[in-house]
Chains A and B, each alone.
Chain A
Amino acid sequence: MHAAVIQFPGSNCDRDMAVAVQQIMGARTSLIWHGEAELPDNLDLIAIPGGFSYGDYLRSGAMAARSPVMQSVIAAASRGVPVLGVCNGFQILTEAGLLPGALMRNAGIRFVCRTVQLKVENSQSIFTSQYENGEQIAIPVAHHDGNYFADSETLDRLEGEGRVAFRYAESVNGSARDIAGILNNAGNVLGMMPHPERMIEPLQGGSDGRRLFEALIREIA
């Protein structure tokens, strides 16, 4: 199993993500610099970590989405390679057009950094199959721009097609319909604001994030 974690200038969850992927999935993990035009062949997972790529200049994720490596990520996603974007990674995936909508400034203006309750909305995806439908899990968030926006037609479509993976079970950032994470149409791309890689063992205060990576092992193996 071979996973890639993409690094942009300003990424700061890349190492945590690499540890989660390595320890839980047992995957060989390559850290890939954003300037690389090509990804290694036969990747089983691409993870786009959190942070503040390019200082979040212009808009969160906007610069990173146009960097050379993202063309290869888009091509890999269209071939069906699983792509997981967390926090800034979610913002990058929407800016790159791999997921619909946009992540705007939190409704309360403030940066939100705490563990929140999430509700698993779709336990059928390759990322969520180790959760129960409707289960509540505790995962930390740490973001300033997590307020998910899409027009109501898009929101209806996401809900109708079961593409809302996670919803906030409490008020966090003003996200449309409390959306915390969404899937692409084919189900191989997940973007989410909460950080599953920060909740993988009891020492971190909980391990609810662990099952997301365990689900991927089953799907990929």
Chain B
Amino acid sequence: MKTRVFVTLKNGVLDPQGKAIHHAIESLGFSGIHDVRAGRLIEIEHEPGLSRTDLESMCSKLLANLVIENFEIEQAA
């Protein structure tokens, strides 16, 4: 079974990498881009029995730094 964890910067936290990507996109000639923010996708393969609580605990203990980041868990159907 596979679960995807999305880690993103909280609103209000400056994202220099997102800014650099934004500039790079524009320098390729694409226009109409308002903002770019970069995050991280972590794919976890696991036994079907792994609980939501354990996944959340993994996220808050290690995968995301809650001072600056939020996480979202997407469990495969």
A147 and B13 alpha carbons, distance in the complex (Å):
11
Beta-carbon contacts under 8 Å, B1-47 to A: 13-14, 16-17, 20
Contact A102:B16 (CB < 8 A) given known A58-B62, A66-B62: no
Partner of A107, one of B13, B16, B68: B16
Determine the chain B residues whose CB is within 8 A of the CB of A102 once the complex forms. Answer: 65, 67-68
Total A-B residue contacts, Cβ distance less than 8 Å: 36
Determine whether the beta carbon of B67 is less than 8 Å from that of A174.
no
Partner of B16, one of A94, A105, A150: A105
Beta-carbon contacts under 8 Å, A142-166 to B: 147, 149-150
Determine whether the beta carbon of B16 is less than 8 Å from that of A58.
no
Determine the chain B residues whose CB is within 8 A of the CB of A150 once the complex forms. Answer: 67
Determine whether the beta carbon of B16 is less than 8 Å from that of A62.
no
Determine whether the beta carbon of A174 is less than 8 Å from that of B65.
no
Partner of A147, one of B16, B61, B62, B63: B16
Give the shortest distance, in Å, between B41 (CB) and chain A (any CB): 13
Beta-carbon contacts under 8 Å, A57-116 to B: 58-59, 62, 66, 94-95, 100-102, 104-109
Interface residues of B (CB under 8 A from A): 13-14, 16-17, 20, 61-63, 65, 67-68
Interface residues of A (CB under 8 A from B): 58-59, 62, 66, 94-95, 100-102, 104-109, 147, 149-150, 174
